[in-house]
Structure 1
C-alpha cells in the first residue's frame, strides 16, 4: 500500500526534479498529482525516465482531502496561499520555499543531520526544506561538529543560476550567446551581467549590509545544527547552470586534523570524499550534476587559527539542495509517522 502524493509547482525546475527523484528512488505511491497554476493546466510532465506522464491540474481547485503528502516547489507566494489549505485537509506539506523555515512550530529538516526534529511536524502539518546552500553545508558540518565541536564558520558560496529558476538559466544562456555574436547584453533577472561574470549579491540586501541569502545560511544553520555556532557567509552567483560550490573555513572547540576530518567525511551519510592532492583530484559543479551526494575536496589544516580546517564542497542544488532533500524528508516521514500497510 502506497501514498497519495501531490507535487505543487510540478512544471518548474525543482518540481520536475521532484517527480524524477520520486520515480528514481521508487517512493511508494499509489497515486500522484501534478499541480501548477492555471496557465499550465493540461500540460504533461514526465515522472522520471519511465515514460509515464501525468497532466497538470490547477492547484486553485485541487482538493487535498485524502492525500498524504504534498511536496511544494512553487515559491513563497503560492505556498502562503495553498500550504495551509493542504495542511488543514490532513495532507502533510513539505515546503521548499523560505516561508516557514524560521517558524518555531515548523521543523526544518536535513534527514542526515536532524531527523528527530521531524516529530514536531504535527503542530502545523508542515515541514520546511532548507535553503539550497544550507542543505549541502549541513551534511558536511554535522559529522565534524559531532567529532570536534564547531565554534565558527566562514564561507563563500559560488551558486549556480538554476537557484534563480528557469529565468536565471535562460538569462545565462541568452547573455552568453549575445556576447559571442556581438549583440548587446541586457540584465533582467540579475542586477548585472551574469555571463562571464560573478555577482556578490543573492536575494535582497538587509540593514547590516548582508544579503538575505547570507542571513538564511546563518539562521538555518543555528536551527538545524546548533544555535551556538557562529557563521559568516558571502554568497555569490556564478555563471554555472547547475551545482553550488562552497569554500568553507571552520574553527573547532577541540583539535581535529585534516586526516581525521577526511576519515570522518569518508564515512558520513550523504557525503562523498574526493580529495587527491593532484591535478583534477577534486570535484567541480559540472561533475556533481544529477547526483545526490555532497562532494568534499581540498580538506586541509588552517595554520592561522587553533583547531582550524578549510574545505571545498559541491552539490547539485536542484537535488540535495531542493528536490532530493524534500523526497528524503517524505521517506523519513513515512518511516516514522505515516506507515502504510
Structure 2
C-alpha cells in the first residue's frame, strides 16, 4: 500500500471518541490486549461523561469533554459516539490531519469512504481520504461468511433473519434488560425507557425507523452495506431484523442461493479455513452456536450448515458473533492495524 495511506511509523497519539459507551470501553480494552503502538491515549466523550476514570495499561485516564482542540496532534481517532456526533466533529478531525475510523452509519454509503471488513476487502483501504467507515454489526458478521463462499461460486440471492441482542442498542439497553427482567420475575409490569418496548422475556422487530419500502433502517443497512463490501451493487438480499432478550452477541439465520449447487463438504472446507470464522456444531446432540459461545471472543461461530430442501442451489446456516467485539470495536482496531507501516514491510 502507498505510504501516504498508512499511519505514521512511530508510537501513535490515539483518541477514542465516545469512550464511555459499550463499544468505546471495548476499544480501550482491545488496544491494550493487542498491544497497539500508542504513545499517548486520549478518551473523549460528552460533558456528561467528562471526569470519568478509565484504566489503560495500568494507568488511570480521565475522560475529557470533546472540543475543537481535542483533535490537534492526534494521529488516529476511533469514533464510536453515534452518527450525529461523528458528523459534528468530522471536519475538525480531518482538518487536524488525523485518520478517522468511524463506527457509526454516518458515512458508510458515501462513495469516497471505504467500508471495510479487514478479512474481506482490505484492498479498499487504499481509497481512503482520511476517513474509513466501520460497517454495521450484523453486516460484518454476515460478510465474513458470504465473502469466502462467493469466491467459490457466485451468490444469486441471500435471505437473512437476525436476532439482535440488547448490546446493539448500547450499554444502557443492556442495563435496562437486566433491570426489567428482574421486574418481571418480581411480578411487576416492566416499562422500558431506553428501547420502545421491554425486551424482558419479549422480542420485537428492530426499532430503527421504517423506510418507504416498509423495511426498517437496520435491514436496509444490511442490504446496502453488504453490496458495497462485496463489490456487487446488484446483489439480491433481503433481511428481517429482530431485537431479542439476549445481553450480548447477535445471531443470524442465513439462506444463500448460489448460481449452481454448492457441495456442503466444500462449504465446510472453505469456512473452516476462513479468517475470523470457526465451525461449532454437534449434530448428534443438536448443539449449535449460541450467543454465550461467542461473548467476549473474536471469531464468529457458524454451524448447522445444510442443504436447503426447497432449492438445490441454496445452503442454509446459522451464525453467532459478539456485536461489541467483532461487530464493532475489534473490526475498527483491525482496520487500524492494517494501516500500521510494520504490516507492509
Give TM-score scaled by structure 1 length: 0.95
1:303: Cα distance to partner?
2.1
Is 1:204 paired with 2:213?
A: no
Q: Any stretches of 5+ residues in structure 2 without a counterpart?
A: 1-9
Is 1:81 paired with 2:81?
A: no
* C-alpha contact 1:298 1:312 (8 A) present in aligned 2: yes
In 2, distance between residues paired with 1:285 and 1:53? 32
More displaced stretch, 174-183 vs 128-137? 174-183
Q: Segments of 4+ in structure 1 off by > 6 A?
A: none
More displaced stretch, 9-18 vs 31-40? 31-40
Equivalent residue for 2:36?
27
- Residue by residue over 1:211-267, the C-alpha shift from the partner in whole angstroms, topping out at 9 and shown as x without a partner, is 000000000011001223210000000000000000000000132122210110000
* C-alpha contact 2:190 2:200 (8 A) present in aligned 1: no
Is 1:238 paired with 2:244?
A: yes
Report the aligned-residue RMSD. 1.6
Equivalent residue for 2:331?
325
In structure 2, which of residues 1, 5, 16 is the aligned counterpart of residue 7 of structure 1? 16
- Residue by residue over 1:265-306, the C-alpha shift from the partner in whole angstroms, topping out at 9 and shown as x without a partner, is 000011111132122532200110111111101001112113
Aligned residues: 335
In 1, distance between residues paired with 2:195 and 2:65? 30
Give TM-score scaled by structure 2 length: 0.94
In structure 1, which of residues 167, 181, 188 is the aligned counterpart of residue 172 of structure 2? 167
In 1, distance between residues paired with 2:293 and 2:137? 18
Is 1:97 paired with 2:82?
A: no
In structure 1, which of residues 278, 289, 294 is the aligned counterpart of residue 295 of structure 2? 289
Is 1:182 paired with 2:187?
A: yes
Alpha carbons of structure 1 residues 228 and 155: separation in structure 2 relative to 1, 3 Å? same
SS at match of 1:147: coil
- Residue by residue over 1:137-157, the C-alpha shift from the partner in whole angstroms, topping out at 9 and shown as x without a partner, is 101110001011111100100
In 1, distance between residues paired with 2:286 and 2:294? 14
Equivalent residue for 2:276?
270
